[in-house]
Amino acid sequence: MSNKPLTAKTNDKGHFEVGGCDTVELAKQFGTPLYVVDELTLRHNCRQYVSTLKSKYPNSLVLYASKALCNTAVLKMVCDEGLGLDVSSGGELYTAKKANLDLSKVYFHGNNKPLKELEEGVAAGVNIVADNLCELKNLDQISKRLKMTARVMFRINPGIEAHTHEFIQTGKIDSKFGIQKDKIIEAAKIVSGSRYLTFIGLHTHIGSQIFDIDPFVSEADVLFDYAKQIKDATGLEAKELDFGGGWGVSYIDEKPAPVPQLLEKVIQRVRAKAAELKIPEPKIIFEPGRSIISPAGITLYTIGSVKEIPGIRKYAMIDGGMSDNPRPILYDAQYDALIANKISVETCHGKSLQKYRIAGRFCESGDILIKEIKLPKIDENDILAVMCTGAYGYSMASNYNRVCRPPMVVVNNGKSTLILKRETYEDLVSQDVIL
C-alpha cells in the first residue's frame, strides 16, 4: 500500500497532482494550510472492505469510524458506499443526522457518554455500545423515561495488547475502555432484567495502527468465550460480534497486509468457533476508519522562512503545524512529504536532495511536523505536500494561538469541491462573551 492517494502523479508542469488537480493551483485557489481528500481513493478503500466482506461472509457490516475524519460530506460519501457509522459523541451523531444517514446503522461508542448524549442516542434509535455498568443503568432509566427500546452492545476488554503506541492501545487489561471481565455477567443481568434494553452483541477494540493479523484473530476467541458465558448465565444471545478497527496504514514505508488477507483469517476463525460451539454464525462488524481515510488525504502548506544552523540542521518553516496536525507532538507520528512545485525526474531519482526539519508556526519547541526528511532545495513560497493525513488531522485540530482551522476540499476528475470552509477571525470570537 502506498502512502499517496491512488490518483497521485506528476503533471506536465512538474507539479504534484491529485484527483486530476494541480496541488500548486489548489494552494493558490484555497490558500494554505489546506486539507485535500481524493474521492477516488476514499471510495476505493470503502469498496475494498465492503466487497471483500460481502463475498466471503454476507452477514456482515463495515462501519466507518467517524473519529478519524467527520464532516457531512465525508460521512455521506462513505455511507453511499454501503458503510454504517461508528460515532463516539453527540457531535458526531448530530453530524450523521445532518447528513441524513440511516441511523439504524450507527453504533454509539464512548467510555463516559454524558446523559444528554445517551438520551440523544436513544431518541435517534442508534445502537448503543455500553462501556460500563453505570452507563447501562443510566441507559435503562433513559429508555424507560422515553418509552423507547435501546439496542445494546457490550464493549468488553479483551486483554490483548497490540504492538502499537501506548496511547492508542485500547485492549490491554489496564485500560479505561470496556467492561471488566468480572462484571460481564452482572452487565448481562441488568439487560435481561430490563423491559427497555435489548442485547444485540459484543464489541472489542484492541488499538490503532496495527500490522499484525494475529491479535484480530485472537479477538474471535475472546468474543465467542464471553458470548457463551453470557448465554449460559442469562440466556441472552450475542447475534453481532464487532471486531473494532485499528488496521495500520503506510505513513512512511510500513507494509500492512492486504485487507482481504486480514478479513479472510478472521472469518475462518469465526466460522470455526461457531461450528465448535454449535451456534449460528453471528453477524460480524469491522470499524476501519484510519485505513479508509488516511491514504485518501494530503495536507498542503506554504513554506515561509528557511533557517540553517551551521553544523546542526536546516529548518523549513510552514504556515501550519500542531494546530492542524497534532499527531507528531502527541504520538511522535512520522510523515512523508514532497515539494509540490518541484517534482521532477532529477529529484525523483534523489539528486540534489538536502536534509531538512519541517517546523510548524506555533509557539512550542515541540511543534515539529517532520524531524528529518530529504527534499530538493526549499525556497520561500514553495508548497509542501504531506502524505497520508486524512485521519486525525482535522479531527484533532485546535485553535491554539488563536489560529483559524484550515478548509477542506474533495478532488475528483480534475474538479475541486469545498466541503469545509476556512475559519475566520470572526469565527474565533463568535462564542466569546464580552463583559
Looking at residue 170, its pLDDT comes to 43
The active-site residue out of 46, 79, 134, 363 is: 363
Cα–Cα distances in Å, from 47 out to 100, 167, 295?
A: 21, 30, 14
Domain C-terminal end among 288, 321, 337: 288
Quote the domain boundaries for residue 22.
9-37+296-429
| pTM for this entry | 0.93
Query: For 329-347, what is the mean pLDDT?
Result: 86
- 3-class DSSP assignment, residue 419: strand
Domain C-terminal end among 288, 305, 324: 288
Looking at residue 365, its pLDDT comes to 93
Looking at residue 360, its pLDDT comes to 97
Domain C-terminal end among 233, 262, 288: 288
Query: Does residue 202 lie in a domain region?
Result: yes
Q: Is the pLDDT of residue 116 over 60?
A: yes
Query: Does residue 47 lie in a domain region?
Result: no
Contacts 24+ apart (CB under 8 A), 132-141: 132/179, 132/183, 133/179, 133/183, 133/186, 133/187, 133/190, 136/187, 136/190, 136/191, 136/197, 137/190, 139/197, 140/190, 140/194, 140/196, 140/197
Give how many domains the chain has, as a whole number: 2
Query: For 260-279, what is the mean pLDDT?
Result: 93
Looking at residue 175, its pLDDT comes to 66
Looking at residue 160, its pLDDT comes to 63
Same domain, 121 and 143: yes
Confidence of residue 176 (pLDDT cuts 50, 70, 90): confident
Confidence of residue 15 (pLDDT cuts 50, 70, 90): very high
Same domain, 136 and 281: yes
Looking at residue 1, its pLDDT comes to 59
Query: Does residue 30 lie in a domain region?
Result: yes
Query: For 64-87, what is the mean pLDDT?
Result: 97
Same domain, 272 and 341: no
Are 154 and 197 spatial neighbours (Cβ–Cβ below 8 Å)?
no
Residue with cell 460481502: 54
Looking at residue 350, its pLDDT comes to 54
Sign of the alpha-carbon dihedral angle for 350, 351, 356, 359: negative
Same domain, 254 and 175: yes
363 part of the active site: yes
CATH number where 262 lies:
3.20.20.10
CATH number where 340 lies:
2.40.37.10
Q: Is the pLDDT of residue 99 over 50?
A: yes
Same domain, 306 and 353: yes
Looking at residue 309, its pLDDT comes to 94
Same domain, 197 and 302: no
Q: 160 or 191: which carries more pLDDT confidence?
A: 191
Query: Does residue 303 lie in a domain region?
Result: yes
